Amino acid sequence: MKRMAIHPIEYRYGTDEMKAVWSEETRLEKLLSVESALARAEADTGLFPAEDAGVIAEKVGAVTLARVNEIEDEIQHDVMALVLAIAEQCGDSGKWVHFGATSNDILDTATALQIRDAISILREKLNRLLDVLVRQADAHKQTVCAGRTHGQIGVPTTYGMRFALWACEIDRHIDRLDQLSPRLVVGKIGGAVGTQASFGENGVVIQQKTMEYLGIGSVEIANQIVQRDRHAEFVMWMANTATTLDKICTAVRNLQRSEIAEISEGFGKKQVGSSTMPHKRNPIKSEQVCGLARIVRAMVEPELLNNTLWDERDLTNSSSERIIFPEASVLTDHLINLTTRIITNLRFYPENIKRNLDLLKGLNMAESVMILLAEHIGRQEAHSIVRECSIAAHEGGRHLLDVLLERDAVTAHLDADEIAAAMDPYQYIGTAVEQVEAVVTRLRTRSRSPTKKF
């Protein structure tokens, strides 16, 4: 029977490199690596001859996914199927395969190897996005635009500020990834309930040596499994990162609205916006980011629940993690890629940026006038006067400058040129340029190498 693709990850979302990390073939490769490393560690401590460990290390490469699956169909146990598939390749040395280990010694340690590879990909992609945001921040550090709070136009800001803000957030996510990696990328060799009784007095050394061969960290203590608070931290990190991407793309979508139209996603020459409205240019990439971010966030609760297992462990975490780890990783990687493309190809519309900056007929510059007037009469009185003028301008559909010039309480302290200068939005961006330049300099000069390699 021909295999049918069902999940959109199979044919619509995700990169080949991240999908490869979580493929059946890679999973088998990691499991075999752990069994081989375990055999070598056990031989090092004298549990069995080094020659047998050498045979196991050599023969694991002959094990096929098809054979493991065939055995599993018969015995209904995935790890024992793996063990038997290795043992049948190893002759008499096969009796030492998986010696003293429990299934999750192999499974959880293999998962750590897969997560290590996933982290490497995610970190590289985040650095690319960071670079794009930094370039946009630098390019638009003096692109003055309307700031908005509560969906209403406020005092001016710059597009450089927005990009720098997002860049710093992505930078923090990279820091968080570096910080959680040593806690996450760890394996265990503890036996049935973690006491290492099956390894005799060599349990601690066997665990340490196994992880050294694999190049990852070792748990300090565990029961039958690596504790899932570690994995929950990783899933929450992906949800947090996806939420930042959601925030960025929500801003793009909002600023692309017809009545705002300051920026837009790039639009291909042959791209179709609507099946019925030929004029449409929809922000479909940003909408996809926002939509899929919901799925990544939805993985947090089940992974948190995977830490609340019975006693030394039960099996309720296993089935959900077969979905959570690959799906969250593939989608997060996809969202980072997509957001990078969106930011790289953004189109800016200066005429609309200026139009919106002037849309309120000077009302958005009321604070600037108030601050200047306050130097003469105090902040509270100045606020009251400028507020009254703002209400009058709004209700009368007039420019705030004209109303201010009619008020003796204002003109007694400020002349027309001073008021007009105070209402110039391009001169009221404070230290915006300075702040952006500081962010750009820091992020361009900061070392992006991981704090620790695994």
Q: Is 150 a catalytic residue?
A: yes
Q: Is 33 a catalytic residue?
A: no
247's tokens: 């925030």
Contact 158, 429 (CB under 8 A): yes
pTM: 0.94
**Marked catalytic residue, from 7, 274, 319, 376:** 274
Q: Rounded CA gap, 242 and 290, in Å?
A: 8
Instruction: Characterize the bridge pairing of strands 347-348 and 263-264.
Output: antiparallel
Instruction: Check if CATH label 3.30.43.10 holds for domain 16-96.
Output: no
| Distances from the Cα of 346 to the Cα of 13, 132, 266, angstroms | 21, 11, 6
pLDDT tens digits for the chain (454 residues)?
677 888 889 889 999 999 999 999 999 999 999 999 999 999 999 999 999 999 999 999 999 999 999 999 999 999 999 999 999 999 999 999 999 999 999 999 999 999 999 999 999 999 999 999 999 999 999 999 999 999 999 999 999 999 999 999 999 999 999 999 999 999 999 999 999 999 999 999 999 999 999 999 999 999 999 999 999 999 999 999 999 999 999 999 999 999 999 999 886 666 666 556 656 678 889 999 999 999 999 999 999 999 999 999 999 999 999 999 999 999 999 999 999 999 999 999 999 999 999 999 999 999 999 999 999 999 999 999 999 999 999 999 999 999 999 999 999 999 999 999 999 999 999 999 999 999 999 999 875 655 444 4
**Phi, psi (deg, nearest 5) at residue 146:** -75, 125
**Marked catalytic residue, from 150, 258, 275, 279:** 150
Domain ranges of the chain: 16-96, 103-267+280-356, 363-422
Q: Which CATH superfamily is domain 363-422 in?
A: Fumarase/aspartase (C-terminal domain) (1.10.40.30)
Contact 90, 55 (CB under 8 A): yes
Pick the CATH number of 103-267+280-356 from 1.10.15.40, 3.40.50.2000, 1.10.1740.10, 1.20.200.10: 1.20.200.10
Q: Rounded CA gap, 19 and 92, in Å?
A: 37
